[in-house]
Amino acid sequence: MTMSPFMQVAYSEAQASFNEGGLPVGSVLVHDGEIVSTGRNRQEQTGSNLLHAENDALERAGRRERRFFRACELYTTLSPCPMCSGSVVFYEIPRIIVGDCTTFAGEVEWIRSRGVTVDLEESQECIALLQRFIREKPDLWRKIVAD
Amino acid sequence: MTMSPFMQVAYSEAQASFNEGGLPVGSVLVHDGEIVSTGRNRQEQTGSNLLHAENDALERAGRRERRFFRACELYTTLSPCPMCSGSVVFYEIPRIIVGDCTTFAGEVEWIRSRGVTVDLEESQECIALLQRFIREKPDLWRKIVAD
C-alpha cells in the first residue's frame, strides 16, 4: 500500500532516527491540512524517557489552546504505546493514523474506547523499517521493550 | 490527615511550582525507599506540553532499565491525568500514591484496570493548595483544563 503524504513525512522522521542510531518511529501533527510539527523517537539520542515520536511531535507543537489540539490529527509510523496514547487522550486529539499496527499492537482498543478515531494504514515501508531495526539491533530492541 | 514523608516532598514541589506561577502539582519517584527524582508541573514555566509533575519526575529519573521502574513507586499530589497515567502504565510502575483525588479524579479506574495499585491519601494540604490556585487564578486554571 502506498503511504499517504503525511505518513511519508512521518516515515522520513523514522528514517532519521534510524540513521541516528535510535528507534525508527516518526510522527507528524497536522492541523487543518497543514503540518504543525514533526517528531521522532529520541530516547537513545537524548536519554529522554518521554520523547517517543508522538510525544516529541506534541512537544514541538509548542503551547497551544486545548481547542487547537482538538482540531488536529496525528500520523505515526508505529501504533502508540500507553504513554503516547495517554497524551493523545489527554489532548483530545480526535484522530490518529497508524503506519504499522503489525509489529506492535499498541493501545488502539483503549484509544478507540476513549472516542479517538484510529485509522490503520498498514504501510509495508513502516513495517519493514522497524523489522530491519529489530533484526540488526536485537539487544537494543530488547532493552527498549523488555529489560 | 498527616501527609506521608514522601508526599511531603511532593507537596514541596507543588509549592515550588505555585511560587513560580505554575500549576501546583508535585511528584516523587521512589525506589527501594529512596528518592530517585522529584518533579513538578512546569508547563507555565517552560512552555512544555509534556512536563506535568509525574512526567517531569520520570524524565528526571534518567534512562534506566525497565526492571528499575517496575520496582518504583510514584507519589503525586494530584490524581494523574490520562497523559501521566499512560506513562505510569508504559513504565509498569506498580504503585502510585495520590494526595488529592477530590479536585480532579484523574484516571484512577483505568490505571487500576491495568494492574497498578493506587492508594489515596486525600491530603488536606494538597487539596487546599490546588483549590487556592483555582481561586486565585481562575483564567489560568480554565486555560489548562478547558480552553
- What's the pLDDT at B1? 59
- How do residues B3-30 score in pLDDT, each as one tens digit? 999 999 999 999 999 999 999 999 999 9
CA distance A41 to A43: 6
Report the pLDDT value the prediction gives residue B146, as an integer from 0 to 100. Answer: 83
**Helix, coil or strand: residue A41:** coil
Q: Which of residues 117-146 of A touch B (CB under 8 A)?
A: 143, 145-146
Q: Among A47, A59, A81, whose Cβ lies nearest the Cβ of B50?
A: A59
Report the 3 state secondary structure along A57-113.
HHHHCCCCCHHHHCCEEEEEEECCCHHHHHHHHHCCCCEEEEEECCCCCCCHHHHHH
Reported ipTM: 0.96
For strand A117-120 and strand B26-31, is the pairing parallel, antiparallel, or unpaired?
A: unpaired
B6 φ/ψ sector (left φ>0, alpha ψ -120 to 50, else beta)? alpha
Is B34's Cβ below 8 Å from some Cβ in A?
no
Best mutation target, B27, B85, B87, to test chain A (most A CBs within 10 A) = B87
B94 burial via Cβ count (<10 Å: 0-12, 13-18, 19+) = middle
Which residues have CB under 8 Å from A108's CB, separation 6+?
A79, A98, A101, A118, A120
Residue B128 pLDDT class (50, 70, 90 cuts) = very high
What's the mean pLDDT in B72-89? Answer: 98
Average pLDDT estimate for B30-36 = 97
Closest to B110 measured CA to CA, from A15, A43, A86, A126: A86
Q: How many CB atoms lie within 10 A of CB A99?
A: 32
Please calculate the CA angle A58-A63-A64 and round it to the nearest 5 degrees: 95
Contacts of B147 in chain A (CB under 8 A): 65-67
DSSP string, B105-146: -TTHHHHHHTT-EEEE---HHHHHHHHHHHHH-HHHHHHHHT
Scan for cell 509549592, then name that residue. B15
Residue A146: predicted pLDDT: 84
Q: Which amino acid makes up residue B38? A: T
φ, ψ of residue A34 to 5 degrees: the values are -120, 145
Residues of A in contact with B50 (CB under 8 A): 50, 55, 58-59, 87
pLDDT one digit per residue (tens) for chain A, 147 residues: 579 999 999 999 999 999 999 999 999 999 999 999 999 999 999 999 999 999 999 999 999 999 999 999 999 999 999 999 999 999 999 999 999 999 999 999 999 999 999 999 999 999 999 999 999 999 999 988 888
One-letter amino acid identity for A30? V
Residue B77 touches partner A, C-beta closer than 8 Å:
no
B34 three-class SS:
strand
Q: Which residue has the higher pLDDT, A92 or B146?
A: A92
What pLDDT, in 10s, does the model give residues A7-40?
999 999 999 999 999 999 999 999 999 999 999 9
User: Number of C-alpha atoms within 13 angstroms, CB side, residue B135?
Assistant: 6
The verdict on whether A136 is a catalytic residue reads no
Model pLDDT, residue B147? 83
A5 and chain B in contact, CB less than 8 A: no
Q: What is the reported pLDDT for B144? A: 86
Residue B131 scores a pLDDT above 70:
yes
- Give the pLDDT score at A147: 83
> Cβ contact (<8 Å) for B49 and A43?
no
pLDDT score of B82 = 97
Write down the pLDDT at residue A145.
84
The residue of B50, B84, B109, B111 whose CB has the most chain A CBs within 10 angstroms, and thus the best one to mutate to test that interface, is: B50
How many Å separate Cα B65 from the centre of its chain?
22
- Return the number of other C-beta atoms located less than 10 Å from residue B19's C-beta: 9
CA separation for the pair B132, B137 (Å, rounded) = 8
d(CA B99, CA B120): 6
Region of A29 on the Ramachandran plot (φ > 0 left; ψ -120 to 50 alpha; else beta): beta
Q: How confident is the model at residue B104 (pLDDT cuts 50, 70, 90)?
A: very high
Average pLDDT value over all residues in chain A: 96
Determine whether the interchain pair A86/B91 forms a contact, defined as Cβ–Cβ distance below 8 Å.
no
pLDDT digits (tens, 9 = 90+) for B109-122: 999 999 999 999 99
**Given CB atoms, is A82 within the 8 Å cutoff of chain B?**
yes
